[in-house]
Structure 1
Amino acid sequence: MVDILVLGATGFTGRLITRYLATHPERASFKFAVAARSKSKLEELVRTYELDESVEKLQVDVTDPEQIDAAVRQAKVVLNTVGPYWRWGTPVVQACARYGKHYVDLSGETYWNRQIIEKYEVLAMKIGAIIVPACGFDSLPADLLVFLSNNTLKREAGPDTELAHSQTFYSLRGGVSGGTLSTMLTMLDEVPRHIVQESNRPYTLSPAIRGARVPRMQLAYAVPFARGAFGTFFPMAQPNQSIVQRTWGLHALATLSPSGYNLPAQLLGKVEDLRRRTYGPQFTYREAMILPVPGRIPAVLFSIGFMVTAVILAIFRPVRHLLWKFLPKSGEGPSESAMRNGWVEATNYTSSVPTPSRPALHVKSIMRGRGDPGYSLTAVMISESALALLLDKPSLPPLAHAGGVLTPASALGEVIMRRLEKTGRVEFESAIVHTDKNESRKDR
Structure 2
Amino acid sequence: MTSLQYDLVLLGPTGYTGRFCADHIVQNHPTNLKWAIAGRSAAKMDPIAQELRALVPDRVQPGMKSFVMIPIFIAFFIAAFGLTQCTDVLEVQLNSAELDELAKKTKIIINCIGPYHKYSSPVVEACANNGTHYLDVTGETPWIKIMIDKYHDTAKNNGAIIIHSVGVESAPADMLAWALVKKVREDLSCNTREITSCIKEMKSSGASGGTLNTIISIFDWLPTSKLLKFTGPFSLAAGPSPKDIPRETILQKLLGARSVRDLGILTTSPNGMADMAIVYRSSTLMPEFYGKRFAFHQFLNVRNVFIGALVHVGMMVGLSLLLLPPVRWLLRKFIFAPGNGPSMQDSLNDHLEYHAVATADQQGPSPKRVFGKLTYQGSMYVYTGLLVAEAAMVILENEEKIKKVSRGGIVTTAALGQEFVDRLDQVGCRIETKVLEY
Conserved 8 A contact 1:63-1:88: no
Structure 2 residue aligned with 1:290: 301
Aligned equivalents of 1:19, 1:165: Cα separation in 2: 35
Letter in 1 for 2:307: P
Match of 2:19 among 15, 28, 31: 15
Match of 2:257 among 220, 242, 253: 220
Aligned equivalents of 1:35, 1:224: Cα separation in 2: 48
1:142 equivalenced with 2:173 (yes/no): yes
Structure 2 residue aligned with 1:233: 268
CA drift at 1:179: 0.7
CA drift at 1:324: 1.9
Aligned equivalents of 1:8, 1:182: Cα separation in 2: 16
Letter in 1 for 2:298: E
Structure 2 residue aligned with 1:416: 420
CA drift at 1:278: 2.2
CA drift at 1:337: 1.5
CA drift at 1:161: 3.0
Match of 1:157 among 166, 179, 188: 188
- Matched residue SS, 1:27: coil
Conserved 8 A contact 1:149-1:430: yes
Aligned equivalents of 2:51, 2:183: Cα separation in 1: 44
CA drift at 1:126: 0.8
- What is the 5 A alignment of 1:92-111? 92-111=123-142
CA drift at 1:397: 6.8
Aligned equivalents of 1:166, 1:306: Cα separation in 2: 20
CA drift at 1:195: 2.3
CA drift at 1:430: 0.4
1:333 equivalenced with 2:341 (yes/no): yes
Q: Identity over the aligned pairs, expressed in percent? A: 26
Structure 2 residue aligned with 1:390: 396
Structure 2 regions of 5+ residues with no counterpart? 69-92
Structure 2 residue aligned with 1:71: 102
Moved more, 324-333 or 304-313: 304-313
- Per-residue CA deviation, residues 242-267 of structure 1 (Å, 9 max, x unaligned), is 00000111112xxxxxxxxxxxxxxx
Structure 2 residue aligned with 1:304: 313
Structure 2 residue aligned with 1:204: 235
Structure 1 regions of 5+ residues with no counterpart? 253-274, 436-444
CA drift at 1:204: 1.3
Structure 1 residue aligned with 2:356: 348
CA drift at 1:66: 2.6
Letter in 1 for 2:42: K
Structure 1 residue aligned with 2:84: none
Structure 1 residue aligned with 2:291: 279
Structure 2 residue aligned with 1:377: 383
CA drift at 1:214: 6.0
CA drift at 1:310: 1.6
- Per-residue CA deviation, residues 52-96 of structure 1 (Å, 9 max, x unaligned), is 673111103674223322222211100001111111111101100
Give aligned pairs, total: 399
Aligned equivalents of 2:269, 2:343: Cα separation in 1: 24
Structure 2 residue aligned with 1:49: 52
- Per-residue CA deviation, residues 225-250 of structure 1 (Å, 9 max, x unaligned), is 25xx3122211111110000001111
CA drift at 1:165: 4.4
Match of 1:323 among 307, 331, 336: 331
Structure 2 residue aligned with 1:433: 436
Q: 1:179 to 1:149 in 2, by over 3 A?
A: same
1:131 equivalenced with 2:174 (yes/no): no
Aligned equivalents of 2:210, 2:171: Cα separation in 1: 19
Q: 1:44 to 1:382 in 2, by over 3 A?
A: same
Q: With the length of structure 1 as denominator, give the TM-score of the two structures.
A: 0.85
Q: Which runs of 4+ in 1 moved over 6 A?
A: none
Conserved 8 A contact 1:247-1:407: yes
Structure 2 residue aligned with 1:35: 38
Letter in 1 for 2:321: I
Aligned equivalents of 2:300, 2:397: Cα separation in 1: 35
Q: With the length of structure 2 as denominator, give the TM-score of the two structures.
A: 0.87
Q: 1:150 to 1:193 in 2, by over 3 A?
A: same
Structure 2 residue aligned with 1:265: none
Conserved 8 A contact 1:385-1:412: yes
1:166 equivalenced with 2:201 (yes/no): no
Conserved 8 A contact 2:276-2:297: yes
Structure 2 residue aligned with 1:406: 411
Aligned equivalents of 2:259, 2:389: Cα separation in 1: 35
Letter in 2 for 1:405: I
- Per-residue CA deviation, residues 23-77 of structure 1 (Å, 9 max, x unaligned), is 11x3224111001101111112123333667311110367422332222221110
Conserved 8 A contact 1:146-1:166: no
Letter in 2 for 1:90: S
Q: 1:166 to 1:39 in 2, by over 3 A?
A: same
Structure 1 residue aligned with 2:215: 184
Q: What RMSD, in angstroms, separates the aligned Cα atoms of the two structures?
A: 1.9
Letter in 2 for 1:368: T
CA drift at 1:164: 2.8
Aligned equivalents of 1:98, 1:278: Cα separation in 2: 30
CA drift at 1:394: 4.3
- Matched residue SS, 2:346: helix
Conserved 8 A contact 2:195-2:356: no
